[in-house]
């Protein structure tokens, strides 16, 4: 993690006031959807599948079949051989995206009328199912912001390239999807400014309270915005203090969990020891393979697919875009064959909400395992596997009665590399006993998760999205 002076102690409280601000005179919430629709008319993508051989600016290695950009930038698509001796599937091969460069995901913050607002961008990505979504101020790979594509400069980039001139609220490198990316990381940043900032077309200042309401809507707040917002030093809203012991509601238990009021079932040092133990005992062996040497994968005219028809396929697309740094390009993309389920099972333990976290091994992680949601899977991928391979608690998440579901929205994954990748994100209250014991699962409070998010490679990107979703539940019900 890049070292900067610690954010002032007042920052969590100021973040809480932004959570309280369910609306703002700077940009009223009732004008958001008309503004967003207007942005969609100017910023658009026309995306069509093309044969793999028609990828312009990309080469297919004649020996390995690997795909790479002619500039040497952006990313490569390679093969990976994976062995996890103790896993439900001990061995497999797959295509994977290798993008070693570290991008910037950055959000500018500024105080208006005593309340922190965050500069969000209406950004179109070729893989988004609905085109336009709400993204960070800056969302750019190194190849993008160094202008390998010879396109327009990235707006507001200098605030994050030279953050020392301003107040850095959070700055940490975090991983991305460990099943589709090989050791991919991005720098997650929030930088507060006091100077005047020119408001460009397609950008809008929003409070956290406003963003939280938008987060409850399908496919509006994108993955990159969710991961950055999860890294805030969040302590809950300030409209009331941490609730007293007589309040046994879900919201009260969540607020205690955010504030760190009341005891955690497992002390912090025990959690750290557990993560280290999982990473030490879990054997994961990966080695690069030629893309054309993968078992059970076949390259056709339009896609590289698995023989089973499951998992995902690698496709090629031609993109014509408006409101982007570049007006057109072609690229490979990963297209999942089905939607997934990402769920936190939560329980009030001693009046404090706890989340059942799973230390999950994925082949693309830099350090073997990261803390993932209780459930993170594509159910259809397990249809052909033994029952023992079916993820624990999947049925509990999918079969939960409506009155136990606290958050439920379909949210998109990264739209720059993945095509129409969407997951159903759930927060579900569970009756699982607090004494439940499994070497790969632990109960944790929200405060413990937020503390770990100050450091790299502890909490995976799906769990970070759900942390942002949990934060959104500390306020009042959505009104958008």
Task: Provide the strand spans (E) within 66-140.
Answer: 67-69, 76-83, 91-98, 103-112, 115-124, 132-135, 138-140
Q: What is the pLDDT of residue 214?
A: 98
Which residues on adjacent β-strands are paired with residue 423?
340, 411
Q: From the CB of residue 56, how many other CB atoms can be counted at a distance below 10 Å?
A: 12
Please name the helix (run of DSSP H) or strand (run of DSSP E) that holds residue 215, with its range, or none.
helix 208-215
Rounded CA gap, 475 and 118, in Å?
17
Which of 363, 440, 307 shows the shortest CA–CA distance to 175?
363
Rounded CA gap, 335 and 299, in Å?
14
- DSSP assignment string, 358-393: EEEE-TT-TTSEEEE-SEEE-GGGGTTS-GGGSPTT
Q: What is the pLDDT of residue 238?
A: 59
Residues 6+ apart with CB under 8 A from 109: 116, 117, 118, 119, 169, 190, 191, 192, 193
The answer to whether 208 and 16 have CB atoms below 8 angstroms apart is no
How far are the Cα atoms of 22, 40, 85, 281, 363 from residue 32, in angstroms, in the given order?
A: 13, 12, 50, 49, 40
Q: What is the pLDDT of residue 404?
A: 98
Q: What is the pLDDT of residue 241?
A: 60
Rounded CA gap, 321 and 48, in Å?
12
Q: What is the pLDDT of residue 3?
A: 41
Q: What is the pLDDT of residue 2?
A: 43
Positions in the chain whose pLDDT score sits under 70: 1-10, 143-151, 236, 238-242, 476-480
Rounded CA gap, 187 and 139, in Å?
10
Q: What is the pLDDT of residue 445?
A: 98
Q: Rounded to 10 degrees, what is the CA torsion of 250, 255, 257, 258?
A: 140
Q: What is the pLDDT of residue 479?
A: 52
The distance from CA 430 to its chain's CA centroid, rounded to whole angstroms, is: 24
The answer to whether 316 and 330 have CB atoms below 8 angstroms apart is yes
Q: What is the pLDDT of residue 468?
A: 98
Q: Where are the alpha helices (DSSP H) in 241-357?
A: 250-259, 268-281
């Amino acid at each position: 993690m890049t070292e900067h002076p610690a954010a002032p102690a007042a920052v969590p409280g100021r973040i809480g006031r932004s959570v309280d601000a369910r609306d703002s005179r700077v940009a009223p919430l009732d004008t958001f959807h008309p503004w967003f629709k207007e942005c969609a008319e100017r910023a658009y993508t026309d995306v069509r599948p093309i044969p793999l051989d028609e990828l312009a600016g990309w080469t297919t290695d004649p020996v390995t079949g690997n795909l790479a950009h002619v500039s040497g930038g952006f990313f490569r698509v390679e093969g990976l051989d994976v062995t996890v001796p103790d896993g439900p599937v001990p061995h497999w091969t797959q295509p994977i995206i290798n993008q070693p460069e570290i991008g910037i995901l950055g959000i500018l913050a500024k105080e208006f009328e005593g309340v922190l607002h965050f500069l969000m961008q209406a950004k179109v990505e070729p893989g988004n199912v609905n085109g336009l979504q709400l993204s960070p101020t800056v969302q750019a790979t190194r190849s993008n912001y160094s202008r390998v594509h010879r396109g327009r400069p990235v707006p507001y980039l200098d605030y994050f390239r030279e953050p020392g001139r301003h107040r850095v609220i959070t700055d940490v490198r975090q991983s991305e999807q460990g099943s589709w990316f090989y050791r991919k990381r991005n720098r997650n940043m929030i930088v507060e400014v006091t100077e005047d900032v020119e408001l460009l077309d397609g950008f809008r200042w929003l409070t956290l309270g406003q963003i939280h309401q938008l987060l409850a809507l399908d496919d509006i707040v994108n993955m990159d915005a969710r991961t950055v917002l999860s890294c805030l030093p969040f302590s809950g809203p300030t409209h009331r203090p941490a609730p007293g012991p007589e309040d046994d509601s879900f919201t009260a238990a969540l607020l205690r969990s955010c504030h760190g009021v009341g005891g955690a079932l497992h002390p912090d040092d025990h959690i750290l020891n557990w993560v280290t133990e999982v990473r030490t005992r879990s054997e994961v062996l990966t080695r690069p393979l030629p893309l054309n040497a993968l078992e059970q994968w076949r390259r056709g005219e339009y896609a590289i697919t698995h023989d089973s028809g499951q998992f995902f396929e690698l496709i090629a697309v031609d993109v014509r875009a408006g409101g982007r740094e570049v007006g057109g390009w072609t690229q490979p993309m990963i297209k999942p064959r089905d939607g997934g389920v990402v769920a936190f099972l939560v329980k009030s333990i001693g009046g404090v909400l706890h989340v059942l976290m799973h230390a999950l091994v994925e082949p693309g992680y830099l350090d073997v395992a990261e803390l993932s949601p209780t459930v993170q899977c594509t159910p259809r991928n397990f249809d052909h596997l033994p029952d023992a391979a079916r993820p624990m608690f999947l049925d509990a998440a999918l079969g939960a009665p409506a009155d136990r579901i606290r958050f439920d929205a379909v949210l998109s994954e990264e739209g720059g590399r993945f095509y129409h990748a969407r997951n159903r994100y759930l927060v579900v209250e569970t009756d699982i006993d607090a004494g439940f014991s499994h070497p790969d699962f632990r109960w944790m409070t929200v405060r413990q998760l937020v503390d770990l998010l100050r450091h790299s490679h502890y909490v995976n990107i799906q769990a970070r999205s759900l942390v942002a979703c949990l934060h959104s539940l500390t306020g009042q019900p959505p009104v958008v």
